[in-house]
Amino acid sequence: MNTRMTQAQQRALRSQLGNVTLKLLYKASVHGYAAAAFHQRCDNQGPTLSVGYNDSSFVFGGYTSISFNQSGAWGNDAEAFLFTFNRGKVLKYQVTNPAYAVLMHGSHGPYFGDNLGFCVNGQAVVYNSPSQDYYNFNAAEMHGNDLRLVECEVYKIGDILAESKLLEKPWRNMDWTPENRRKVLFDIETYKPTISSLSQIRVLLIGPVGAGKSSLFNSIKSVFKGHVTNQAMTGSSASSLTTQFRTYDIKAGKEGKPLPIIVCDTMGLEETTGEGLSVDDISSILIGHMKDRYQFNSAVPLQPEAQDYKKSPGLQDRIHCVAYVIAANKISIMPSKLEDKLTAIRSKINLIGIPQLVLLTKVDEACPAVAEDLTNVYHSLYIKTKLQEASQRLGIPLSCVVPVKNYTHHIEVDQSCDILLLSAVNQMLRFADDYTKA
C-alpha cells in the first residue's frame, strides 16, 4: 500500500514521536470504512497514528500510545494528542482529560475523546460535542469544518530510525571505570563552596509531570547510600505526586555527614493554566522566601503575609543552580503551552543570573542501544539529537545538557548509572561555584 502522507509530513510527525518508523496498517480506500475492517488490522498493535484527509486538502488526526480494542471502554492515555498541519508544521492539541482519551468501540474506528472520530458507524469522519473538552482545538483550524473524508490511514509506531545507530567514537568523553566513580564520589563528598559562610549549595529541580524529578533525587541519594532508596514520593500519575516544596539533605553512607548539596524538589509543571507548579512561585523559591514543606497552590502563589514565607532569606536560603529535568523520550512531543511555561521560568531565572542545566532522563527508554548498555549513551547518535533538541527548545547551551538514568525498577545500584548521576551532580557544583563567585 502506498501512503498518502508526503515524506515531509511523515518526517514532521516522526520528529514529534521520537524519530520512529511508521508502518501503514490500514487504508480506508483499500480496506473500506467499516469499523470491522479497521479493528481487524489495528487492534492490539500498540501505539498508533490515525490520519484523515478531507475534500479541503486538510491532513489531520490523532495519536495514542495505547492499543486499540473493542472493549467498549474509554482508554486512559496522558500521551494522546490530536494534530493538523499548518504550512508544513505540526500543530498539536494535547489531551486535557486523559481518562477519556480514546473510545474503544467495536462499531467505531479511531475515536479520540468525544471530539474526533474516523469510520464511526460506517461514516467517513464525525466531529462531536465540541463542548466536551477532552481535547481543546479549533475545528476550523484543524480540518476547516470539512467532514467529507477522502481517505483515512492508521500507522503503527515502530522502532527508532537508523540514526539511533552507535558511533564508533563517542561524541562526548566519559570515564566508566570504577576508579573514576570513586574519584568523583570523593570529590563531591569533600567539596566546599567558594564562600566560607556557605556550607551547602541548593539545587532546584524543575520539570514536567512524569519527567522523573523526585526519582532523580532518590537516585542521587542511592548513589551515596550504596543501595536503592525511595525517600521522595514517586510513581505514575497524570498530575504531580509532589505537592509540597521539599528540601532534601543527602548523607554520605548510612551514618555519614551531610553532603555539601541540598536538592530542592517542586511540584511538576503542567501545560494547563492554573495546574501544576505556578510560574509566579518561581521567584519566591529562587530568592529563598519559600520554606520547606510549603504546600503548593496552583491557583494562588506564595504571599508575603503567609506563614511559610521567609521574610529575610540569606545566601544559604537562595537557589544556587537550577536543573531542568526533561524526559528524553518525551522532548519531541512536549506541548507548546508547557514549553511556554518553561520559557517564562527561564526568563525569571535569567534575570537573577542563576546558572541552569538540563538533565535528560529516561535515555534508556529513548534508545534501545542505551537500554541494552548504558555506556552506549555517548555513542548514540539518537541521544545526541535529543540533547540538541532539548538545548534548542529550552534555550540552554548544549554543553549544559547532560543525560542521566534514574533508579526506577532497580533493586541494586549500578556502576554506569552511578557515574552518569555523579557526573550530573558534579556539574551542579561547578555551576553553583560560578554563581557564588560572581
The CA distance from 120 to 264, in Å, is 49
The CA distance from 78 to 332, in Å, is 15
The CA distance from 90 to 249, in Å, is 43
Burial class from Cβ neighbours inside 10 Å (0-12, 13-18, 19+) for residue 8 reads exposed
Task: Record the cell numbers describing residue 423, joined without a space.
Answer: 557526573
Which domains does the chain show, CATH number per domain?
7-160 (no CATH), 162-437 (3.40.50.300)
What's the confidence (pLDDT) of residue 164?
A: 54
What's the confidence (pLDDT) of residue 129?
A: 56
What's the confidence (pLDDT) of residue 289?
A: 95
What's the confidence (pLDDT) of residue 236?
A: 46
Fill in the DSSP letter of residue 47: S
Residues sharing a CB contact under 8 Å with residue 293, sequence separation 6 or more, in sequence order: 244, 245, 246, 308
Using alpha carbons only, give the angle 377, 380, 386 rounded to the nearest 5 degrees: 90
Per DSSP, the three-state class of 56 is coil
Task: Record the cell numbers describing residue 254, joined without a space.
Answer: 548510612
The CA distance from 123 to 347, in Å, is 49
Give φ, ψ of 90 to 5 degrees. Answer: -85, 125
The CA distance from 321 to 217, in Å, is 15
pLDDT in tens, 131-187: 567 888 888 898 998 888 899 999 999 876 555 578 889 999 999 999 999 999 999
Per DSSP, the three-state class of 239 is coil
Task: Record the cell numbers describing residue 255, joined without a space.
Answer: 551514618
Task: Record the cell numbers describing residue 339, joined without a space.
Answer: 514549553
DSSP assignments along 272-322, one per residue: STTSBS-GGGHHHHHHT-BPTTEE--SSS---TTSTTB-SS--GGGS--EE
pTM: 0.67
What's the confidence (pLDDT) of residue 189?
A: 92
What's the confidence (pLDDT) of residue 131?
A: 56
- Which portions of the chain are predicted below pLDDT 50? 235-238
Widest pairwise Cα distance in the chain:
75
What's the confidence (pLDDT) of residue 233?
A: 53
Residue 4 near residue 153, CB atoms below 8 Å: yes
